[in-house]
Amino acid sequence: MKRALAILAVLVLLVLPVVGGATQEASAPQISIEHFAFGTPMLSVTVGTTVTWVNHDDDLHTVASSDGLFASPGLDTDDVFAYHFTAPGTYAYRCALHPHMTGTIIVQ
């Protein structure tokens, strides 16, 4: 049930219009979690972009910003977490369970 709700939330974010009448980009950035690493450790996006992480490992992982702005629950295999970036900045994040797993989102 949790997995179905997470997938539904991502799909809703992909089809909802954004303020001003523009539609959200059709291909939102997706970061895979595989082999105890974030597949794209550094990603640059524009303000208003939703980034999605998908756990393809057999082990539990999380996505947690270093400043506490966002944090996923534990993501099991094929679970999804998405965050909508509304302000420019550099957002460092890590897996709370495996601190060597780190990444950065640069929002311009």
- Percentage of the chain beyond pLDDT 70 is 75
What is the extent of the structural domain holding 91?
A: 2-18+25-107
Report the pLDDT value the prediction gives residue 15, as an integer from 0 to 100. Answer: 34
Given a cut of 80, is residue 70 above it in pLDDT? yes
CB contact at 8 A, 61 and 101 = yes
What lies within 8 Å, CB to CB, of 103 at 6+ separation is: 31, 38, 40, 41, 42, 43, 92, 93, 94
Report the pLDDT value the prediction gives residue 5, as an integer from 0 to 100. Answer: 39
How many domains, in total, are found in the chain?
1
CATH number at residue 50: 2.60.40.420
Q: In this predicted model, what pLDDT tens digit does every residue of 29-38 receive, in sequence order?
A: 999 999 999 9
Higher pLDDT, 74 or 4: 74
